[in-house]
């Protein structure tokens, strides 16, 4: 089977509140577990989705109830693909301070992007910076 | 010590050992409550020595990590020490990737972590 023959899709516009984000991620996690993705992969996808969706809700849409976050997820037998888009102004990922520098280590923000890039295989932002695409391949 | 919703706590050799109730520490409301409960542990002791045992934890979000950082600052300001133990490899990766393993002393097992507290 082709790596991008999708066998499951989630395509929802969710409200800009963290609870809705958690609920959306929970649906995805149930699918991954039902489809017997390895625990380490599920953890990585969970981490990346949690950070990406919460960034969109909190920093992108600033929890504005009039805005939504578009969460699109496709699963093939061997690949996870997601696109998370908010209705905010966007941002430049290069402007986010490196959280691993000594002076930033004890700050309580700025770790999300680093975690996303460490836990999935590919992270791509659009030019505006209000949409992020995540890809992870199943590793058995 | 009052009743907690998100943690359980007991004492071993003058160290307060904390375990998380939730396997997946990800719900925003629960994380806020967790932060309050963790900080309340430092209210009761002038020089708190805290061991956070992660044995129940399968997922830990960056928001939850932020609560640990706030706790760490409070504990160190009070002259206490904090240790982490029993992290699953994936959870341990969180601390490695973010260099927070240089902020927190992490040990594999609870007993080893308790032995690692520096005596007065």
Say if A41 falls within a structural domain.
yes
Say if B29 falls within a structural domain.
no
Whether B76 shows a pLDDT value over 80: the answer reads: yes
Say which CATH number the domain at B93 has: 3.30.750.24
Say if A3 falls within a structural domain.
no
To 5 degrees, how large is the angle CA A77–CA A121–CA A85? 85
Whether B1 shows a pLDDT value over 70: the answer reads: no
- Cα A110 to Cα A123: distance, rounded to the nearest angstrom: 16
Q: Do B98 and A111 touch (CB under 8 A)?
A: yes
Domains contained in chain B, number? 1
Residue with tokens 């089977």: A1
Residue partners of B77: CB distance under 8 A and separation at least 6: none
Q: Which domain holds residue B49?
A: 42-120
Q: What is the pLDDT of residues B31-72, one digit of tens each?
A: 999 999 999 988 765 678 999 999 999 999 888 999 999 999
Q: Do A108 and B26 touch (CB under 8 A)?
A: no
In this prediction, residues A41-59 reach a mean pLDDT of 95
Say if A76 falls within a structural domain.
yes
Q: Which domain holds residue A31?
A: 8-137
Whether B106 shows a pLDDT value over 90: the answer reads: yes
Contacts of B100 in chain A (CB under 8 A): 105
Domains contained in chain A, number? 1
Say if B32 falls within a structural domain.
no
Say if A128 falls within a structural domain.
yes
Whether B5 shows a pLDDT value over 70: the answer reads: yes
Say if B72 falls within a structural domain.
yes
Say if A27 falls within a structural domain.
yes
Say which CATH number the domain at A86 has: 3.30.565.10
Q: What is the pLDDT of residues A7-16, one digit of tens each?
A: 999 999 999 9
Sheet holding B7-12, edge to edge: B7-12, B15-20, B49-53, B81-85, B105-107
Say if B23 falls within a structural domain.
no
What percent of chain A has a predicted confidence (pLDDT) above 90?
81
Say if A2 falls within a structural domain.
no
Minimal CA separation from B98 to chain A, in Å: 5
ipTM computed for the complex: 0.81
Minimal CA separation from B56 to chain A, in Å: 15
């Amino acid at each position: 089977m082709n790596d991008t023959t999708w066998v499951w899709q989630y395509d929802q516009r969710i409200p800009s509140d963290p609870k809705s984000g958690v609920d959306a991620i929970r649906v995805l996690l149930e699918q991954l577990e039902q489809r017997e993705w390895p625990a380490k992969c599920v953890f990585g996808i969970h981490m990346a989705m949690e950070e990406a969706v919460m960034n969109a809700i909190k920093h992108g849409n600033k929890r504005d109830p009039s805005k939504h976050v578009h969460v699109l997820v496709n699963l093939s037998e061997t690949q996870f693909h997601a696109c998370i888009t908010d209705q905010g102004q966007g941002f430049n990922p290069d402007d986010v301070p490196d959280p691993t520098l000594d002076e930033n280590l004890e700050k309580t923000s700025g770790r999300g992007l680093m975690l996303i890039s460490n836990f999935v295989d590919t992270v791509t932002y659009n030019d505006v910076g209000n949409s992020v695409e995540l890809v992870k391949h199943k590793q058995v | 010590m009052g009743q907690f919703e998100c943690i359980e706590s007991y004492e071993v050799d003058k160290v307060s050992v904390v375990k998380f109730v939730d396997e997946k520490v990800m719900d925003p409301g629960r994380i806020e409550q967790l932060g309050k409960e963790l900080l309340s542990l430092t209210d009761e002791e002038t020089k708190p020595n805290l061991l956070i045992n992660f044995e129940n934890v399968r997922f830990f979000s960056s928001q939850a990590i932020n609560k640990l950082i706030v706790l760490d600052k409070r504990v160190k300001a009070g002259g206490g020490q904090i240790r982490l133990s029993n992290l699953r490899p994936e959870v341990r990766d969180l601390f490695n990737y973010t260099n927070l393993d240089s902020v927190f002393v992490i040990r594999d097992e609870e007993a080893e972590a308790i032995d690692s507290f520096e005596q007065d």
